[in-house]
Structure 1
Amino acid sequence: MTSTIDDRAETTPGTVPTLYHWAGGARLEGASGRTSEVTNPATGAVTAHLPLASDDEAAAVVAAAKAAFPAWRDTSLTKRTQILFRFRELLNARAGELAEIITSEHGKVLSDAAGEVARGQEVVEFACGIPHLLKGSATENASTKIDVHSIRQPLGVVGIISPFNFPAMVPMWFFPIAIATGNTVVLKPSEKVPTAALWIAELWREAGLPDGVFNVLHGDKTAVDHLLTNPDVKSISFVGSTPIARYVYETGTAHGKRVQALGGAKNHMVVLPDADLDLAADQAINAGFGSAGERCMAVSALVAVGDIADTLVDKIAERARGLRTGDGTRNTDMGPLVTKAAQERVSGYIDAGEQAGATVVVDGRTGTYDADGDGFFVGPTLLDHVGTDMTVYTDEIFGPVLSVLRVDTYDQAVQLVNANPYGNGTALFTHDGGAARRFSNEVEVGMIGINVPVPVPMAYYSFGGWKNSLFGDTHAHGSEGVHFFTRGKVVTTRWPDPSHAGLNLGFPTNT
């Protein structure tokens, strides 16, 4: 399926295509007169124009989702699951197409984009088990001849506001479960990476999803604010920076919505003296520079404990210098940053770190890149002797910058991690089981890896951090995701003796 890429709008050869919204199972051409540019970050070339929705256009997309809700809510679990299975099979067959779209607009290398699709597919597969996940409970004779049972029902129209760094995986943390539980969806993807959402919408249509159950709304703050304030939108799922996550949470809840807003991160990787330093160096590279550091779970702060720092820094530097940076469609290890502004921001942080006294061991501000045109590249950067007061440590850089902090003891390392205002992910590298168990108990972070640098949970667990990394009470996917997209009811029942129901020898079905 390539229609979303090749036929994004009626265009003549050599012109830049214009994208569209998706509402009620069909294209909705933008009419606001406002657009933004979509670029290929490896070359700097403009690849599409994106319509930015007006308030009226946002209302029309929400209205399409609202109109589809009653019928989808009343569709049997068996039929919903069949559509989910068809979507899964189609995505498995065409995952490579989606990976290519991600690379063309985000810049991450193709293998990384394929991994993103695979991790999103895990949530689709989890949602295929929704009949079991929605089972309620029952108590016979809670009181004399009175029975009690519980059920869970969908919310209605749900909004998803997703970031640029995972155009497929992050939306898939939410919409498979939302759809499986009987809700209808309005997805507002990042303006930087919009095409994956449209590709997914067409795949849902091919899988047999009824029109209006999955919708795509493009836009900026106007579209976001509409989703946050429209009374027909019952919940908001958001992933992005902490300031915006706080705004989304406060605005959405003030308008009576259920909100899960996942914010920023400063993920630490603590290396104890007994650790395998070659393994630690390998994993620091993988977690620090994968996807050019544009991951909310990227390791950006490495905490070296004791006298291992010099050796560990040398090992990481040797590996970093051997990485190939360039166009993600080529044989490279790391691609560009998503925009020119991101490139300038990350370079500015490296400048600030150097000026504050950090040692620039590997400098990514200059280099040779395997790409054509003027891409948005910053190479792998390693900073040593970083202090906790430097902006390269205090701020979420979202780029390929790994900062090394040195401490003398395990206790100092845990204190450093816990003092940070973020609590998304952390990792400990050690051979000491007692230290690992203690770390898991003492560290104030939502997701922890032991000799695993990027501890993103499997779909049947839930994803989310602590402190300023999460606003709201519910994490993404897993059992918490099912509860977020449903409301519970408890029914207390008393019946007279049953009457005769007649004969029917046909085999009972579940449709």
Structure 2
Amino acid sequence: MTLIRHLVEGRETGSDRRTGPVFDPATGEVQREVVFATATDVETAIAAAKAALPGWRATGLIKRADVFFRLRQLLVERQDELAAIITSEHGKVLSDAAGEISRGIENVEFAAGLVHLLKGERSEQVSRGVDVHSVKQPVGVVGAITPFNFPVMVPLWMTASAIACGNTVVLKPSEKDPSAAVFLAKLYEEAGLPAGVLNVVHGDKVAVDTLLDSPDVKAVSFVGSTPVAKSIYERATANGKRVQALGGAKNHMVVMADADLDGAADAAVSAAYGSAGERCMAVSVLVAVGDHVADSLIEKVSERVAALKIGAGSDPASEMGPLITREHRDKVASYVTGAEAEGARVVIDGTTQQFDSNGFFIGVSLIDQVKPGMKVYDDEIFGPVLAVVRVETYDDAVALINANPYANGTAIFTRDGGTARRFEVDIEVGMVGVNVPIPVPVGAYSFGGWKNSLFGDSHIYGPESVHFYTRSKVVTTRWPDHTPTQVDLGFPSNH
């Protein structure tokens, strides 16, 4: 059986004394084993990153940018191969895997503009003969801890920006689908990235805690669930590190009475059930303003769900694949089976759908009459479950969303420009879509939510990533011009 090892300084390392299974979610069978890092393994990777830092930091910006231009080309050329790796370990359909790679490439393109991104500022003659300029310098070794649901896109969000800014990285991908991260690291190497600048270690809490506690790791980026994000933020900041930790979500999609209901139904099905709902930006709550809107949407969504093809992600006919593990599938199912006891109405019960495979499949579910206080509403389910909440007015919809502890993404569907603009202003959520169900920003902007969806001050990728992965230094200079000077013990003045 294939053993997936760490990649440190371009070499595969790690013993097989402690390993974990890597499943094929479509069959339920173990297809590979992944080595779990010891603290010593992680410390070795950190040491390699630290040793590579001076050389990479001193590399010219144009030469650094060339690595990203080459990496982009390699990602395009090897996209089908990389998508197949994603599908084999995550389970998502190939088209969804290809879309993930495409969104990751956006950040590589952004990082290729590092000559512009790393420009400082200059002020001349702030005082007689005195000039001031600022520079952006790398923070050092960065720990990147990424989730299972986007095994290529999220690592590219972190590594491209961090490396472009002159840092070196130790990447700890999810142990559930680790092969894509190793593939990415090898593409970086092929693109010309020096050994040690990007290292990959696999494992569990042992690996994560070593990154969080090491004094040589200066910054940590994380994407995952809210409890883990909060724990990582608290532990890493207590150790003096800069941290961005993105947590969970409960994304609401508001549908007004004047909306194109067919278009809204299409969007709801795509956003709720795409990638089997294993997206932090998935729509999990459909907020219908008015009972007639709710009744119509339920009918239209049900019609579309009836034709949905669920199967192995490698099958071109499949529109939705399995969940990542058997345990997660069972947990998702428990929300559906327990919904009626809490007072909700299960319109479509995906737990009853039968499949010919032993894979981790589940059908899609639609649940009506959902209210805050029910588990199906309060928890981030991370599966193909869409809850319908009925409200009477726009103000009720806004109050519902703003009261939720999560604030990652939201959307409104309406034909009224005034309502849409008001929603942009009123809503307390980090990413907002107007007639766009999954408002993930393009690479030139930054991704991140508010409240319990983000711990730390910086969003991920885009302009805020440059701020996160660099430290600003201000230099004040005066050059002798043969003008006599004298001792002055007063505080420096600009006059």
Q: TM-score, normalised by structure 1?
A: 0.93
Which of 257, 266, 278 pairs up with 1:294?
Answer: 278
Letter in 2 for 1:95: Q
Corresponding residue for 1:94? 78
2:87/2:97 contact within 8 Å kept: yes
SS of residue matched to 1:365? helix
Are 2:322 and 1:356 equivalent residues in the alignment?
Answer: no
Corresponding residue for 1:250? 234
Corresponding residue for 1:344? 330
Which of 443, 462, 465 pairs up with 2:446?
Answer: 462
Q: How does 1:63-462 map to 2 (within 5 A)?
A: 63-306=47-290, 307-330=292-315, 331-369=317-355, 373-462=357-446
Give the C-alpha shift of residue 354 in structure 1. 2.3
Corresponding residue for 2:44? 60
Corresponding residue for 2:13? 28
Corresponding residue for 2:467? 483
Give the C-alpha shift of residue 496 in structure 1. 3.0
Q: Bigger CA drift: 359-368 or 122-131?
A: 359-368
Are 2:449 and 1:474 equivalent residues in the alignment?
Answer: no
The 2-side partners of 1:188 and 1:30 are apart by 17
The 2-side partners of 1:383 and 1:390 are apart by 12
- Alpha-carbon deviations, 1:366-396, whole Å to 9, x = none? 2244x6x410011111011112111000000
SS of residue matched to 2:428? coil
Q: Bigger CA drift: 115-124 or 21-30?
A: 21-30
SS of residue matched to 1:18? strand
Give the C-alpha shift of residue 25 in structure 1. 1.4
The 1-side partners of 2:332 and 2:306 are apart by 18
The 2-side partners of 1:86 and 1:495 are apart by 42
Give the C-alpha shift of residue 208 in structure 1. 1.0
SS of residue matched to 2:363? coil
1:321/1:362 contact within 8 Å kept: no
- Alpha-carbon deviations, 1:443-470, whole Å to 9, x = none? 1100000000000001110100000000
Give the C-alpha shift of residue 357 in structure 1. 2.2
Size of the aligned set, in residue pairs, is 480
SS of residue matched to 2:274? helix
SS of residue matched to 2:310? coil
2:431/2:449 contact within 8 Å kept: yes
Give the C-alpha shift of residue 96 in structure 1. 1.1
1:20/1:27 contact within 8 Å kept: yes
2:14/2:41 contact within 8 Å kept: no
SS of residue matched to 1:300? strand
The 1-side partners of 2:341 and 2:105 are apart by 44
Give the C-alpha shift of residue 205 in structure 1. 1.1
1:446/1:466 contact within 8 Å kept: yes
Corresponding residue for 1:501? none
Give the C-alpha shift of residue 30 in structure 1. 2.7
2:14/2:37 contact within 8 Å kept: no
The 1-side partners of 2:222 and 2:33 are apart by 24
Letter in 2 for 1:340: R
Give the C-alpha shift of residue 358 in structure 1. 1.5
Letter in 1 for 2:309: R
Give the C-alpha shift of residue 441 in structure 1. 0.3
The 2-side partners of 1:458 and 1:447 are apart by 12
SS of residue matched to 2:445? coil
The 2-side partners of 1:352 and 1:124 are apart by 43
SS of residue matched to 1:209? coil
SS of residue matched to 1:141? strand
The 2-side partners of 1:219 and 1:497 are apart by 60
Letter in 1 for 2:326: K
The 2-side partners of 1:78 and 1:495 are apart by 30
- Alpha-carbon deviations, 1:222-269, whole Å to 9, x = none? 000000010000100000000000000000000000000000000000
The 2-side partners of 1:202 and 1:47 are apart by 21
Q: Bigger CA drift: 90-99 or 444-453?
A: 90-99
Q: Bigger CA drift: 138-147 or 286-295?
A: 138-147
Give the C-alpha shift of residue 322 in structure 1. 1.0
Letter in 2 for 1:150: S
Q: Which runs of 5+ in 2 are unaligned?
A: 483-495
2:311/2:322 contact within 8 Å kept: yes
Q: Which runs of 5+ in 1 are unaligned?
A: 1-15, 499-511
The 1-side partners of 2:73 and 2:305 are apart by 38
Give the C-alpha shift of residue 497 in structure 1. 5.1
Give the C-alpha shift of residue 167 in structure 1. 0.2
- Alpha-carbon deviations, 1:156-204, whole Å to 9, x = none? 1101000000000011111101111100010000010100000011111
Letter in 1 for 2:240: G
The 1-side partners of 2:71 and 2:426 are apart by 42
- Alpha-carbon deviations, 1:331-371, whole Å to 9, x = none? 111000000001100001111112212211111112244x6
SS of residue matched to 2:351? coil
The 1-side partners of 2:297 and 2:37 are apart by 50
The 2-side partners of 1:401 and 1:50 are apart by 31
Letter in 2 for 1:363: D
SS of residue matched to 1:202? helix
The 2-side partners of 1:199 and 1:115 are apart by 17
The 2-side partners of 1:271 and 1:241 are apart by 27
1:21/1:30 contact within 8 Å kept: no
SS of residue matched to 1:117? helix
